[in-house]
Amino acid sequence: MTTHSDRRRGATAVLAAATLLTVGACSGADTTSGTGGASADAAKLALSPTTPAAKGTLARADWLLEDEPDSLDLDTQGTSAGRVVLTNVCERLYQLQPDMTTKPFLASSAKTSADGRTLTLTVRSGVTFHDGSKLTADDVLWSLKRHADPDMEQSDEFGNVSSMKKTGADEITIGFKAPDALFTKALAGDAGIVWNKEQVEKAGQDFGTPGQADACSGPYALKNWKSGDSITIAAYGGYWGKKPLTREVVFRWAADSALVNALKTGAADGAYAETPNTAAALLKDKDIAQHYGPSTASLVLIPTARGGLGDERIRRALSLSLDRKGIADSGYGGLVEPWATPVGSGAWGYEKAGFQAAQKQLASLAPASPTADDLAEAKKLVKEAGTPGAPLVIGTDASQGRTVTANAVRAALQRIGLKAQIKTVPTSQFEEFYSDPQARDEIDLLVGDWYISKADPMGFYDNGLSDSSNNWVGFKDATYDKNVKKALATLDDAERASLAIDVQKRFADAAVWIPIAQVPTILLLDAKLTGPTASQAYLYYPWAAELGTKRSA
């Protein structure tokens, strides 16, 4: 799966008012930032993929999730909360590193044929599952086939796969219809988890629900999931790799203000914040360190072809006149960074320098704060396109950041002589905009967000293909389509990067989506502790194994 919905993010929007009040009450409401805490400087956010290595061990860590995981079977229900837990318990054929590169992992080695149409994986020896049984090539093959089942979350990663076979005692060979540049990256994600076939089959329909054992080989084993209360994982004695520093992690969950309060009072040692606003409320707290890391997440405006925004010139005019820095400061406490592409810097899993330079170049199309020249250019574009008669409708939900963004968009549109109105829907309805063209008939623009699970911009740009269901404005560019498909089949990183930069420029020029800001991964951690990854790799990398104290005991 290349993208994920963040359906959990707004689950408690019903209580948004209560939350905002709480956050305010805890740290003294600050009307200028609107997030209740001091505001960070969006332009100076330093993103580091790792935190300093820990020196001491920890008997037990209390960790917070924003929500109880839906399931611990990521094939049937993949949510962030489940991944944060399971990444310490389950291992994948490849592993995503904190710096967002990937390397073979449970596959001790991997070979791609010269024509790129076969991938041969050697299964690591000496690995045991948590029930003590040996991990075999049969488990690997069975797991891959389970992931590829059309009903499973990861099935779309296997679209190019023509065959999967066991070709030796410890060897699996995968055949492709066409070379697939993203496939090994998918194997570092949920499509590469190796399950213990016997355990999964034994649990049947109940696999992944509370009270069931895990079926994995990672540094931690699932000790206990008490539904509605907590999940405990404990270091696995028979682990084949490095012994984890923290022996036991207890996960609990709390939303918004309760999460902030639990960290503030020391009831929890850490959490990965799903919304920057949570972190903003804790900026003044000296006992909680905040670590920002690269992620692929971004805030975006997704236009539809309904009204004036069907015209490329109006879209570009909006992009030029939008006050991104204002949105970052007032909506997100300065913890997001104005950005000119629809994917965050965590997507640069290779050729970082090239992608970085390309992103900077696009900043003229998406300025942090519009200058007089930008506004003049925008007005000119609107004049050329002809001012649309009906007001443009901005779709949003009632969450704080989106509300601020929607108002900033309206202000930007008014600045260039366009009428706009805001349509606020409940969170439960908001997700429908992404899927239902009928729901989108009512809006010209969605205040959205997006992230991709693979560290490769090409995991995103297929959304701009002329036949993509996420191409709402009907963007059509034959060269774009050709280059996206070519890049997806190009295994050489440097060559793929140059194609990616080309399609990225075409996407930005046409303002198919309008980027606002990149959203970093935010790790909130007791100031005495250190070690876990700060990048988006926390969803796929055993971060708890490296959590420990700053000083050796």
Query: CB of residue 81 vs another protein: minimum separation in angstroms?
Result: 11
**Residues 93, 172, 186, 259: which binds another protein (CB under 8 A)?**
259
Q: Is 343 within 8 Å of 300 (Cβ atoms)?
A: no
Q: Per CB under 8 A, does 77 bind another protein?
A: yes
**Residues 166, 264, 485, 486: which binds another protein (CB under 8 A)?**
264
Query: CB of residue 509 vs another protein: minimum separation in angstroms?
Result: 23
Query: CB of residue 160 vs another protein: minimum separation in angstroms?
Result: 16
**Residues 115, 206, 373, 492: which binds another protein (CB under 8 A)?**
206
Query: CB of residue 21 vs another protein: minimum separation in angstroms?
Result: 6
**Residues 90, 174, 262, 412: which binds another protein (CB under 8 A)?**
262
Q: How far apart are CA 99 and CA 48, in angstroms?
A: 9
- Give the type of residue at 346: G
Q: How far apart are CA 369 and CA 385, in angstroms?
A: 23
- Give the type of residue at 524: L
Query: CB of residue 527 vs another protein: minimum separation in angstroms?
Result: 17
> Which is nearest to 272 in space by CA: 93, 111, 67?
67
Q: By rule CB under 8 A, what count of residues binds another protein?
A: 66
Please tell me what DSSP assigns to residue 92. Answer: B
Q: Per CB under 8 A, does 284 bind another protein?
A: no
Q: Per CB under 8 A, does 122 bind another protein?
A: no
The string of DSSP codes covering 448-505 is EEE-BSSS-THHHHGGGSTT-TT-TT----HHHHHHHHHHHT---HHHHHHHHHHHHH
**Residues 431, 493, 495, 509: which binds another protein (CB under 8 A)?**
431
Q: Per CB under 8 A, does 204 bind another protein?
A: no
Q: Three-state SS for 331?
A: helix
Nearer to another protein, 220 or 460 (CB): 460
Query: CB of residue 190 vs another protein: minimum separation in angstroms?
Result: 11
Q: Quick one: which segment of 7-15, 115-123, 334-342, 505-513 binds another protein (CB under 8 A)?
A: 7-15
Q: How far apart are CA 438 and CA 79, in angstroms?
A: 26
Please tell me what DSSP assigns to residue 47. Answer: P
A 10 A CB-CB count for 148 gives: 18
Q: How far apart are CA 456 and CA 276, in angstroms?
A: 23
Measured torsion, CA atoms of residues 149, 155, 161, 165, in degrees rounded to the nearest 10: -40
Nearer to another protein, 228 or 237 (CB): 228
CA geometry: angle 147, 153, 159, nearest 5 deg: 65
Q: Quick one: which segment of 11-19, 42-50, 311-319, 363-371 binds another protein (CB under 8 A)?
A: 11-19
Q: Per CB under 8 A, does 18 bind another protein?
A: yes
Q: Per CB under 8 A, does 265 bind another protein?
A: yes
Q: How far apart are CA 391 and CA 377, in angstroms?
A: 21
Q: Per CB under 8 A, does 258 bind another protein?
A: yes
Q: Per CB under 8 A, does 26 bind another protein?
A: yes
Nearer to another protein, 33 or 463 (CB): 463
Q: Per CB under 8 A, does 396 bind another protein?
A: no
Q: How far apart are CA 450 and CA 459, in angstroms?
A: 12
Q: Quick one: which segment of 346-354, 430-438, 520-528, 531-539 binds another protein (CB under 8 A)?
A: 430-438
Please tell me what DSSP assigns to residue 38. Answer: P
Token pair for residue 379? 């007005």
Q: Per CB under 8 A, does 466 bind another protein?
A: no
| Cβ within 8 Å of residue 368, ≥6 positions away | 43, 324, 325, 338
Token pair for residue 494? 């440097």
Q: Per CB under 8 A, does 118 bind another protein?
A: no
Q: Per CB under 8 A, does 228 bind another protein?
A: yes
**Residues 49, 54, 68, 158: which binds another protein (CB under 8 A)?**
68
Q: How far apart are CA 34 and CA 206, in angstroms?
A: 44
Q: Per CB under 8 A, does 435 bind another protein?
A: yes
Which of 105-109's residues contact partners 24+ apart within 8 Å by CB, and which partners?
105/188, 106/135, 106/140, 106/192, 106/194, 106/217, 107/140, 107/172, 107/187
Query: CB of residue 153 vs another protein: minimum separation in angstroms?
Result: 5
Q: Per CB under 8 A, does 203 bind another protein?
A: no
**Residues 48, 55, 57, 70: which binds another protein (CB under 8 A)?**
70
Query: CB of residue 142 vs another protein: minimum separation in angstroms?
Result: 20
Q: Per CB under 8 A, does 398 bind another protein?
A: no
Q: How far apart are CA 346 and CA 64, in angstroms?
A: 23
Q: Per CB under 8 A, does 254 bind another protein?
A: yes
Query: CB of residue 496 vs another protein: minimum separation in angstroms?
Result: 20
Q: Segment 124-183, which members bind another protein (CB under 8 A)?
A: 151, 153, 156
**Residues 39, 47, 67, 295: which binds another protein (CB under 8 A)?**
67
> Which is nearest to 143 in space by CA: 86, 206, 92?
92
| Cβ within 8 Å of residue 276, ≥6 positions away | 332, 333, 335, 336, 401, 519, 520, 522
Q: Which helix (H) or strand (E) holds 357?
A: helix 352-361
Q: How far apart are CA 426 and CA 463, in angstroms?
A: 26
Torsions phi, psi of 12, nearest 5? Answer: -110, 30
**Residues 469, 479, 482, 528: which binds another protein (CB under 8 A)?**
469
Q: What is the CA radius of gyration of the chain?
A: 23
> Which is nearest to 354 in space by CA: 483, 459, 489, 504?
504
Q: How far apart are CA 115 and CA 38, in angstroms?
A: 55
**Residues 138, 201, 229, 442: which binds another protein (CB under 8 A)?**
229
**Residues 5, 371, 421, 479: which binds another protein (CB under 8 A)?**
5
Nearer to another protein, 73 or 526 (CB): 73
Q: Per CB under 8 A, does 224 bind another protein?
A: no
Task: Enumerate binding residues for another protein (CB under 8 A).
Answer: 1-5, 7, 10-15, 17-18, 21-22, 25-26, 67-68, 70-71, 73, 76-78, 151, 153, 156, 205-206, 208-211, 226-229, 252-255, 257-259, 261-262, 264-265, 267-268, 425-429, 431-432, 434-436, 450, 463, 469-470
